Structure 1
Amino acid sequence: MERTTTASAEDFLDRALVEEAAKKSGLLWVQPAGQPHARPLWHAWHDGAVVVVGEGGEQPLHGLAAGATAALTLRSKDKWGRLVAFTATVTLLAPGTPAWDGAVEELKGKRLNAPDTDTITDRWARECRVLRLEPTGPLAALPTDALTAPPMPSPVTTRQPVPAGLPKLLFKKRKR
């Protein structure tokens, strides 16, 4: 009987750690089942689960599908190191439901620099997917390797040749 009490106390503490880490950090890494790498996503914590919005002009949700599982890793807000890892079940929230409305209210507060702040809820209902990632089972062991991954393919680039006149502008000596 004492063993059951200890296990439930540990489960309670694990859930509390996950909740506190998710509330403090605005970024987590999600690795959908069957995918080789984890991807960073911004998120919010709502009603006992992580909620994310993506697609339709928001962050990509590659590999996250309703009914699937994903491995989540949360970081420490102050040190930015891995704090806790766990498995979550993915659920798609339907627009207009109370669960969707509550999740979207939390996400709106976390969305920075939205181009359409006044109508963002309508756009998310039309174009995006809102997913709920509910923790399941015990905490996972933190990985010991770096978990580095190549950037996602994109037509956008920041590497361009330096303009010929730039060194002269930056390093010219001022005459007095």
Structure 2
Amino acid sequence: MTADALFDRALVEEATKKSGLIWVRGTGPVRALWHVWIDGAAHIVGDGPGEQPLPDLVDGASAEVTVRSKDKGGRVIAWTAAVTELAPRSEAWEAAVAELKGKRLNAPDGERMVDRWAEECRVLRLTPGEARTDLPDGSLAAAPLPTTATTRQPIPAGLPRLLLGRKKKPKR
């Protein structure tokens, strides 16, 4: 390996380890995904109830991963990834899930989470390939993806009066 290739591999690993999110593109839109770095690859879990939706990634395909700086939030490096879907309950799956469950925030089912992941979710390994640091300067902003989430509804007109109560006139 050349010195540049070694530097790029080290940059991919350090930047991805430190970043809480990575942006992943399969053949569809880019998605921001939480992940863990284990044994030289990023691991993600999703596509199940209550979990992050994964982009259209299939076993054996490739994906484009972009990593941001934890300090400034700007893009640091982009790399191509070989996608591998880990078989539930396999040795590699168990190792990945052991790390992923420690990073999963606000899990709805705590103790049963690992069983739910085995039954209903996919765990993917994104193994780095070629890296590039010549990233575009623009924002690359895109319209938000469709979702079932809704925004807050306006509060009922009488609610402030109920919460704050009417000011009572002093008795004479």
Structure 2 length as normaliser, TM-score? Answer: 0.86
- Equivalent of 1:52, from 44, 56, 59? 44
**Residues 67-78 of structure 1 mapped to structure 2, 5 A cutoff:** 67-78=60-71
Does the CA-based 8 Å contact 2:81-2:129 persist in structure 1?
yes
Does the CA-based 8 Å contact 1:86-1:136 persist in structure 2?
yes
SS at match of 1:125: helix
Greater than 6 Å deviation, 4+ residue runs: 166-170
**Residues 13-52 of structure 1 mapped to structure 2, 5 A cutoff:** 13-32=7-26, 34-35=27-28, 37-52=29-44
Tell me what 1:3 maps to: none
Tell me what 1:81 maps to: 74
Does the CA-based 8 Å contact 1:87-1:140 persist in structure 2?
no
Between structure 1 and structure 2, the one with the greater Rg is 2
What is the number of residues matched between the two proteins?
165
Unaligned runs of 5+ residues in structure 2 are: 165-172
**Residues 95-114 of structure 1 mapped to structure 2, 5 A cutoff:** 95-114=88-107
Q: Which amino acid aligns with 2:63?
A: A
Tell me what 2:170 maps to: none
RMSD: 2.2
Asked whether 1:154 is paired with 2:142, we answer no
Q: Which amino acid aligns with 2:34?
A: W
Q: Which amino acid aligns with 1:95?
A: P
The Cα shift of 1:8 comes to 1.9
The Cα shift of 1:40 comes to 0.5
Does the CA-based 8 Å contact 2:78-2:131 persist in structure 1?
no
Unaligned runs of 5+ residues in structure 1 are: 1-6, 171-176
Structure 1 length as normaliser, TM-score? Answer: 0.84
The Cα shift of 1:155 comes to 2.6
